[in-house]
Every structure is written in structure tokens, then in C-alpha cells.
């Protein structure tokens, strides 16, 4: 019996994840025709973002949910799940990524599927800069030096550790995130399409999906607005 493939895209945050998820939703019918089924994050999956210890119930719930979805869509060979929370607590520096990886492993280990982990990484300085801008736009007014002081740079956003934690799985694809593709290079959707073997994505134009990043003017405006609230 040929094993079905489950591609689990774990983010990270600020690496085009929302763009990928939007494309998965909007191109769902085309993906279905290719034998690819998109699994929206279940409550059992979303629960993991704040988990701090191994919980058998959490693993059981994930196993039940994923099994039910695959069984109900048995005609498909490939399944894709995308949720950046599987990298861990965003503002916590991904401190709990090991527990999340172990919980997922326990949930999926005995299922007749081949699991492929997909992770996009952004250079840490760019990542933290983007995180700070996002923090300001979420309504918090915090000086940059105070923001940086709250980060434990020895343990937070440690990409080597994140990858090591997910090496529990036999297949892990690690990609460098690039906000803009150069001539001849894949855009974020095309690159993702090559991983999941989707001609729909490989031939797509990412411009219709891309979220607009905050520019410097918008960032300064957000700072002023937050101070006036």
C-alpha cells in the first residue's frame, strides 16, 4: 500500500506564511484536481502554540482529527497542513518548539502516512526587526531597547535548535525566506509548489497573494497613533 503524504508547514512567522495559506485556500479546487487536499488548522493543532509539557490528550486529539480528515478524503494522496504556531510561541522566542514537535510526533507516529516537515527561516536580525514592527502595529508602544532587553538571545529564535527539535521526523525541508525573488528564481508560492509537487503553485503569480509589509512611513505613523491613544 502506498503511504499518503502529509506535508506540515510550520512557518516560521514573518516568512510568507500568510501568503502560502491564502494561496492554499483560494486555489483549493485546483489543488484538489491534482490530488492535494488542504487541511485547515484544527483546534487540536492550534492548542499546541502554548503547550509547555507533553500531554497525551493533546496527541490523541490531533491523531483523531487528522485521521478523520484523511479517512473522509481518502481519494487524495497528498495532504497539506500549514500553521506557523507549530514553530512555537511567537513572542516567547519559540521556547516550546521541542514539546510541540514531540507532541506531533507522538500523534502521527503510528498513522500510515509519510510526514514531511517544511520550515522557512529568516535571518534573525531581519526577523526580530519585523517582530518589533509588528508589535508596534498591534498597538503596543515599547522602545526598541526595552524590546530587545526582553529577548534572551541565547535561547530565543534559535533556528538550529528549532530544526534539531523537528529532526524527530524523517523528512524535513528547510528553506531560506526571501521577501523578493530575483530574475529566474521562484517566488514563495512557486517554491512551496515544488515541495508539495503542485503544478498549480509552480505556475502561479505570487503578487495576488502577497501581504503588504509595513514601510517606514507606516511604522512611524503607528508609533504616533499608539502614543496618542
Cα dist from 75 to 32, 60, 72, 117, whole Å? 10, 24, 9, 22
Whether the Cβ atoms of residue 8 and residue 81 lie closer than 8 Å to each other: yes
Q: Residue 172 forms beta bridges with which residues?
A: 117
Pairing relationship of beta strands 78-82 and 36-39 according to DSSP bridges: parallel
Within a domain: 65: yes
Within a domain: 207: yes
Within a domain: 206: yes
Within a domain: 135: no
Cell 527539535 belongs to residue: 165
> Radius of gyration (Cα) for the chain, nearest Å?
18
Look at residue 128 in the predicted model and tell me its pLDDT. Answer: 87
189 Ramachandran zone, left/alpha/beta (phi>0; psi -120 to 50): alpha
Instruction: Say which CATH number the domain at 88 has.
Output: 3.40.50
Within a domain: 87: yes
Q: Give the Cβ contact number of residue 103 at 10 Å.
A: 24
| Residue 180 domain boundaries | 4-123+158-212
Tens digit of pLDDT at every position of the chain (229 positions) = 689 999 999 999 999 999 999 999 999 999 999 999 999 999 999 999 999 999 999 999 999 999 999 999 999 999 999 999 999 998 889 999 999 999 999 999 989 999 999 999 999 888 888 888 888 888 888 888 888 888 888 789 999 999 999 999 999 999 999 765 655 678 999 999 999 999 999 998 755 555 555 555 444 534 444 443 3
pTM exceeding the 0.75 threshold for the entire prediction: yes
Helices (H), ranges, the chain: 17-26, 28-33, 43-46, 56-72, 97-108, 124-137, 144-149, 159-166, 188-196, 199-202, 216-228
Q: Please report, in angstroms and rounded to a whole number, the separation of the first and last CA atoms in the chain.
A: 61
Give dist(CA 206, CA 113) in Å, integer.
Answer: 30
Could you tell me which of 63, 98, 70, 83 has the C-alpha nearest to residue 4? 70
Within a domain: 218: no
Within a domain: 25: yes
Whether the Cβ atoms of residue 161 and residue 12 lie closer than 8 Å to each other: no
Tally of domains in the chain: 1
Give SS3 for 11: coil
Within a domain: 229: no
Cα dist from 20 to 54, 118, 169, whole Å? 29, 12, 22
Look at residue 139 in the predicted model and tell me its pLDDT. Answer: 82
Give SS3 for 197: coil
Amino acid at each position: 500500500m502506498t503511504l499518503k503524504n502529509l506535508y506540515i508547514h510550520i512557518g516560521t512567522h514573518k516568512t510568507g506564511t500568510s501568503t502560502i495559506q491564502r494561496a492554499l485556500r483560494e486555489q483549493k479546487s485546483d489543488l484538489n484536481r491534482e490530488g492535494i487536499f488542504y487541511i485547515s488548522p484544527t483546534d487540536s493543532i492550534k492548542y499546541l502554540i502554548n503547550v509547555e509539557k507533553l500531554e497525551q490528550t493533546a496527541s490523541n486529539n490531533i491523531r483523531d482529527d487528522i485521521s478523520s480528515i484523511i479517512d473522509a478524503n481518502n481519494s487524495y494522496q497528498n495532504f497539506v497542513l500549514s500553521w506557523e504556531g507549530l514553530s512555537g510561541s511567537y513572542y516567547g522566542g519559540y521556547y516550546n518548539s521541542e514539546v510541540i514537535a514531540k507532541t506531533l510526533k507522538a500523534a502521527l507516529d503510528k498513522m500510515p502516512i509519510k510526514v514531511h516537515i517544511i520550515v522557512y527561516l529568516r535571518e534573525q536580525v531581519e526577523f526580530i526587526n519585523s517582530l518589533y514592527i509588528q508589535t508596534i502595529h498591534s498597538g503596543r508602544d515599547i522602545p526598541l531597547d526595552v524590546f530587545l532587553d526582553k529577548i534572551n538571545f541565547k535561547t530565543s529564535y534559535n533556528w538550529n535548535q528549532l530544526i534539531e527539535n523537528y529532526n524527530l521526523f524523517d523528512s524535513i525541508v528547510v528553506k531560506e525566506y526571501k521577501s523578493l525573488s530575483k530574475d529566474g528564481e521562484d517566488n514563495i508560492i512557486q517554491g512551496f509548489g515544488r515541495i508539495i509537487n503542485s503544478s498549480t503553485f509552480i505556475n502561479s503569480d505570487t503578487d495576488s497573494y502577497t501581504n503588504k509589509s509595513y514601510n517606514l512611513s507606516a511604522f512611524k505613523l503607528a508609533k504616533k497613533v499608539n502614543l496618542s491613544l
